[in-house]
A and B are shown apart, each in its own frame.
Chain A
Amino acid sequence: MVGIPLILLAAFFFPGIILRTKSIVSGRKGPGVLQPMIDIRVLMGKGSVYSTTTGWVFRIAPVIGLATMLAAILVVPFAKMHAVIPFQADFVFFSYMLALGKFFMIIGALDTGSSFEGMGANREALYSMLIEPAFLVLMGTFAMLTGFTSFSDVFTAFHLSENPIITVFGLIGFYLLVQIAMIENSRMPIDDPKTHLELTMVHEVMILDYSGFDKALIHITTAIKFAVYGSLICSSLVPSDWHPGYQILLFFSIQAGFAIIIGLAESFHARNKMQKNAKFILTLTAVAMLAFLVVLIVTNKLII
């Protein structure tokens, strides 16, 4: 229960840290850590402008987006503590809940009848469709390794040990979770949120017509999504015998570290060519299968 406020707190600073990292690395003075939250506050104070083409789907989409994110948090554990409503195979629920939010954002974009937004929605639909197997395979390997099927139990049972093979698995898992988080949030290397041409955007062009309060909802959703993935990464790394105080400390340092990694990646990486994205995402599924192979070795099913 204590987890949800802490995840929300992390979400509060997350986009700011990314922004700050990027401005420091590029040598700009840049805005403060709280700037994204100030932006959201400003947006929340405003009304909205709607296109005459749009109907109720466009208006309900951001609401459902945020609701799916908050409902998905219910199954996310905090460090080694259990989630609010943990159940078996709850990561399937997690993954499908996020997909529901995405479904609505996509049809919300189509509701505007704009070719730009159609393009963005189309790309987002393709990429999120391709990433789904990677996430489920990764969690399947966790399930196979630990013998449990819920987020909370898996992460309670899983800890990095002396066994070098498990360390290898941990590294692959860490890499995958970071990449999946980046793709789910439409960041580098598949999408660049700072690009200025509609034709090269993915997520940004999908939400082009949102303004004011609705846009604030979308920004809040994105920030929480980052923090949730950060929390998952954290749960897979925290040793279980630590004092809760240290666990919370580690939680925030991992969240900050994750944000800094994203900032650095976006500063030094070029975005993929649009046609390469599909292949890149499919490669992640292949990496997830590599993790599966490692677990086969760990569980003595495959003996080398």
Chain B
Amino acid sequence: MILSFGIFILPKSTRYGYTLCLIFLMVALTSVAALFPHLITNPLPNLLSYTVPDTLSSFFILLINFTSATAFLYSGGYLKPYYDKQTSLRWSVHLWAFVWLYISMILVVLLRDGYSFLIAWELMAVSSFLLVIFEADDRKVLKTGINYLIQMHIGLLFLLVAFLIAGKASGEIGFDGLKYYFSGHSNILVFCLFFTGFGIKAGFIPLHTWLPEAHPAAPSPVSGLMSGVMIKMGIYGIIRVLFSIQSDIFIIGLIILGFSLFSGIMGVMMAIVQHDLKRLLAYHSIENIGIIGIGIGIGVLGMATGNNTLTLLGFTGGLLHVLNHSLFKSLLFFNAGSVYLATHTRNIDELGGLGKKMPYTAAFFLIGSLAICGLPPFNGFISEFLIYLGLLKSFPESSLYFSILLLITLIGLALIGGLAIFCFTKAFGIVFLGQARSKHVENAREVSTGMLIPSLLASAAILAIGLGSVWFVKPVMNIASEISGANPAELFSGRLFETLSRISVAGGVFIGLVVLIALWRNLHLKKHTVATGPTWGCGYTAGDEKQQYTATSWADNFSSLANPVLGTTKRAVHIGENDLFPHKRHFETHPVDLFKTKMIDRPINAMLNLFKKIAFMQTGQIQHYILYAFLFMLLILVLTMFKIL
């Protein structure tokens, strides 16, 4: 930690290398500590004894390590164009904040004590704020950053209150004291406080409004890190609290499941109508937080109803999705960043045809897209499959209302899957395929090899989990059983692992088939003539790139279906009946986040109006202020006389 201040002292050119070494050193150390926790207890029994990671912490540490390391590797190439533009101080602050974001996330998952946890939590907010405002010359970025910082502090307030309430009763502020508090008091209130506090970080709708603003504003490696792991700290917090709950379990499960389903479906629906590539990915983070929450929610419901299968499969699916999402979302953000670097625009409608100019970026983005849609044989399928399996296996034995609940979850999950496919065919297809839609694309070049290596690592991990799911599900299920107290032996002996290995076999067969058919096709085409020509234009040969489908037109048939909940605004000047020689027209659409406008902007505007109205009292004359003080004292006197106060 102390070494991190060295960033400020060193010459500008060596700072990146120094930070890289520092981060890799810490990654190596913490990985060893996470994998072999008994090693660190022996040499340093007193100093570090309270930071010994349990399995849940170890899981999160490994996850943070992987994504932080790849994100920092990627930022080496990504930040290069900024090297000359930014001042030396700002450059150092950025690198320093990166190190501290990493350290604080590790501390968050290690510390159990309330105060130190909150300090680490605060450090995480501040360092990520510094990272977001890297391009602070743009006032919009600065404004977004401040908005982010304020929302994080609202979350912190909820957590502080929750810890204090629990700590007052149990005498110990921290996660360990919760168990005692929950055994004697109503669980629901304090849990809701925790859920709100952690939910702001995780981005559950309607607590999500910072997320689609901050992710596009931040540099891409930072967005990847924030979306990949930092928002998962909210999930970590919720799970950590779930360790201790004793009563009201059913209603808590319902709360988690309800918010998650809502976040999942609304998140992906709002993602579809976005034009900004990174904002689209940000809304998908909300969707995936929803899927994780669905897993955890049904896990808790399983705990409440004593359904071991549902508990284990729900928690395992949710936790595995945390890992999976950190992999494919960082992969997607890295490649979206490469696109931005090459074209200087994030507007999907201005891109197109990048697949030919940046073939590797396109391929990696495609892998990320397939994985995030939950398609086999990639990793997203495994975690969603586990949740599906939990739902389906619980159908026969559950009661009337519970089966209806499961059915709603099933429909929600299926809808999310379908909508994600709709969204990512758009994101990949419009950005990378077809013809260039604007001159931004003309000078695009493939990014350097150094920037592709992190994507390669993430893709390899994605495929490894997709094809070798058994090895990953087993340890995650152990964590799930630790959280819930459910015994996994029943499922171990059951057909679960047979099922997973058969999925791997089927995935392998699929890849084999692809290779075989592709070989057959190539052999065939070698023997026959292959010609090229223009795309079929229905007789019109002078079509140009403006006639292609854009992100807006792709979303049009969907947004007309979903407009009641999305509220996309369209602005167009129509051609009138008597317009014989129409002038040039234009058409624009703006995706609106209804939650932001209705729940945040509107109350704030109402409040500002109110303040404006009472501003007449502020006259600036001292005698008026004395009068106010006198009136106030009179009021208190009257109230005390009538014993109202």
Contact = CB atoms under 8 A, between A and B. Distances in A.
Contacts of B528: 45-48, 212-213
Contacts of B557: 122-123, 126, 278
B395 A140 contact: yes
Contacts of A113: 352-353, 433-435, 535, 545, 548
B373 A103 contact: yes
A79 interface: no
A67 B513 contact: yes
Count class of interface residues, chain A: 35 or more
A97 B528 CA distance: 31
B503 A93 contact: yes
A299 B503 contact: no
B534 A52 contact: yes
Nearest to A97: B376
A71 B506 contact: yes
Contacts of A54: 535
Interface string B420-438: 0110111011101111000
B625 interface: no
A118 interface: yes
Contacts of A46: 528
A92 B388 contact: yes
B385 A125 contact: no
Contacts of B495: 87-88
B518 A63 contact: yes
Contacts, number: 248
- By CB atoms of chain B within 10 A, which of A146, A149, A299 has the most? A149
Give the dominant DSSP class at B's interface. Answer: helix
B530 interface: yes
B510 A53 contact: no
Contacts of B572: none
A234 interface: no
Contacts of A88: 389, 392-393, 495-496, 499
Interface stretch (B25-33, B64-72, B410-418): B410-418
Contact of B400 (A60, A63, A137, A301): A301
A71 B509 contact: yes
Given A133-B415, A140-B395, A111 B549 contact: no
Interface in B487-526: 495-496, 498-499, 502-503, 505-506, 509-510, 513-514, 517-518, 521, 524-525
17 contacts: A49-B531, A53-B435, A63-B521, A67-B517, A71-B509, A75-B506, A88-B392, A93-B385, A93-B503, A107-B429, A110-B430, A118-B553, A133-B418, A136-B388, A137-B414, A149-B393, A214-B521
Interface of A: 44-57, 60, 63-64, 66-68, 70-71, 74-75, 85-90, 92-93, 96-97, 99-100, 102-103, 106-107, 110-119, 121-123, 125-126, 128-133, 135-137, 140, 143-144, 146-147, 149, 198, 208-209, 212-214, 217, 278, 285, 289, 292, 296, 299, 301-302
Which 5 A-B pairs have CB atoms at the shortest separation, nearest pair first? Answer: A118-B549, A110-B429, A47-B528, A129-B418, A113-B434
